[in-house]
Structure formats: C-alpha cells, structure tokens
Structure 1
Amino acid sequence: MEQNVTEQNLTESSLLATFTGYPEAQRLVDRMSDDGFPVESVRIVGEGVRTVEQVTGRMTRGRAALAGAVSGAWFGVLIGLLFGLFTAGAAWIWLLLISLFIGAFWGAVFGFVAHWSTRGQRDFSSVMTLQAQRYEVHVDKARAAEAARYVL
C-alpha cells in the first residue's frame, strides 16, 4: 500500500480550478463524480492553511464541573451498559442509573479540579478549526484535457 501512496504523490497534476471556499471545490468534484469522471485522479488542495480558534465563552469552575459531569455521565452509562450485559432482570436499570450518577459525580470532580489547577491560565472555552485561504482542484495531467470541460 505504501508503494501506491508514493506513486500517487509522484503523479504530475494540473491545476483545474481555484476557489475561495471548500464547498465550491467540493461541488465541482461532486459534479465530476456524478458525470462519471474518474475522480480518483482528482485532489482538493488547501493552500495557506491556518488555525482559527473561536472563543465560545468564559470557562468558570462551575462550567468546568458541569462539562465534566456530562462527560462522566456518558462514561458511566457506557460502563453501566457493559456491566448490564451480565445482569438479569430489571436490576440492569438500577445498575445503569447508579453508573450514570457515579460517572457524573466523578466527572464533575475531575472537571472542577482540572480547571482549578490551571489557576486562571485559560479561563475560556473554544473550538479550533483549520481554514485555508484558497482551495485548488488538481487533476492528473493525463486527464487534464478531459476534466477541463467541467470548469467552463
């Protein structure tokens, strides 16, 4: 498989189109695919990639504990379901509920302690994404003339 990846990277390509947003590049490749073009020879390349961190709000000890409780509750439910496989009758519901509450409690404790231990160094929550300045659609040179009809 590694040989295939190396051969694919060495294939000469031709720039077919440039877009300012990914959805436009995706639509072009989708249109080519719908028309039966062999899209295995097409690449979407993001140029000028940067990270963007969108701040979503202030992180307090209470919010950290709440986020930890939610994560812990999900983990508790998972553990409860796994142990529930070995439980007969209606006892599995109690096992699930107890696991949920124990997971939520310890998740809240760990969330609170984790935030408290930073001593205010990061008092906000955020979501990080990758963005590119432009997106280029490349196609193998052998198929460039055939692909050109899709951008006219």
Structure 2
Amino acid sequence: MTTPTQADSVTVATYTEYAAAQRAVDYLSDNGFPVDQVSIVGTDVKLVENVLGRLTTGRAALAGALSGGWFGLFVGLLLSIFTTGSSWWAVLLAAVLIGVVWGAIFGGVGHAATRGQRDFSSVKSLVASEYGISVAADQADEARALLTRMNWNDSQAS
C-alpha cells in the first residue's frame, strides 16, 4: 500500500507538539491500524536557530581536537586489529594523538578563515505550529474512532 497523497487524505487529528502526534500514530499502530497509510503533516513550518554560545578560534580548535580524537580512535582500533604483538596500544595511541592534532589544526584554521563572520555556535531545527495526522479518506472514520478512544483513556488516567 502507498502513503496517501494530499488530494485523497483526510486530517483526523491535530496536535501542537510533534511528540503528541507521534504518540497518536504509535497508538494507531498498537491497535492494528495500517500506519503505512498515515502521515504526520507539519504546517506553518519555521526554522529556529538556537545560539549555544560564543565561538572563538580556541573553542573551534578544541572542538576539532575532540572530533579528531574520536576519528583517530576509530582508525587506531582498525589498525590495531592488524598489529602483531603487544604494540597495538602504541598504534592506537599514535592514531588518537594524530587525530587530535590534525583536528585542532583544521578546526582552528577553519574558524580563523571566516574572519569573525560567524563567531557563535548554534543548532538549527524546523518547528511547525501544528502537526496533523492524515490518513486515507476511506480509513478516516476508523482512525478518528481509535484516536477518540485514546484521548478518552488518557483523560481517565489523569
């Protein structure tokens, strides 16, 4: 079966938070509803960028060093598989240190190259003002009945 298109689907419930819409779809799934026929549709979507703090060249180098260290650990583990004897730990340590150094260099130089045009770190997310549960038109009544039962059960539990 295919997901319904906007033209042949019906919105059976709306929620102000994505987590609530996700719980509703999970409830439908738990009760045997064919969730391959369900869509969560966000409306009035906007980009929200939360600023985490000031980003200096030193902080960029530190973040690069940490990232490089993790990558070095991964490479070191892979290389140590093929190392004979007890020198596997030296290979691992060398890979981590090389990763830290190169990560710090690339992080610091990369930030310095921006010349202060973006001196902050942030996280971007898409947020909708409303999330609708849409289902195929021929299954809308069944979905509404299940979601009404879910809401009734939730109100009884409170």
Both structures adopt the same fold (TM-score exceeding 0.5)? yes
Query: Which residue pairs with 2:152 in the alignment?
Result: none
Query: Which residue pairs with 2:82 in the alignment?
Result: 86
The whole-number CA distance in structure 2 between the counterparts of 1:10 and 1:129 is 24
Query: Which residue pairs with 1:110 in the alignment?
Result: 106
- Runs (4+) off by over 3 Å: 7-11
The whole-number CA distance in structure 1 between the counterparts of 2:30 and 2:126 is 28
Q: Find the residue that maps to 1:122 and give its secondary structure.
A: coil
* Structure 2 stretches lacking a partner, 5+ long: 149-158
Shift of 1:11: 6.6
Query: Which residue pairs with 1:132 in the alignment?
Result: 128
Shift of 1:89: 2.1
The within-5 A match list for 1:38-117 is 38-117=34-113
Shift of 1:151: 3.3
Shift of 1:9: 3.2
Shift of 1:70: 0.4
* Structure 1 stretches lacking a partner, 5+ long: none
TM normalised by structure 1 equals: 0.91
Identical-pair percentage: 51
The whole-number CA distance in structure 2 between the counterparts of 1:108 and 1:95 is 20
How many pairs align? 148
* RMSD between superposed Cα atoms in Å: 1.6
**Is the CA contact 2:52–2:120 (under 8 Å) kept in the aligned structure 1?**
yes
Shift of 1:147: 1.2
**Is the CA contact 2:53–2:120 (under 8 Å) kept in the aligned structure 1?**
yes
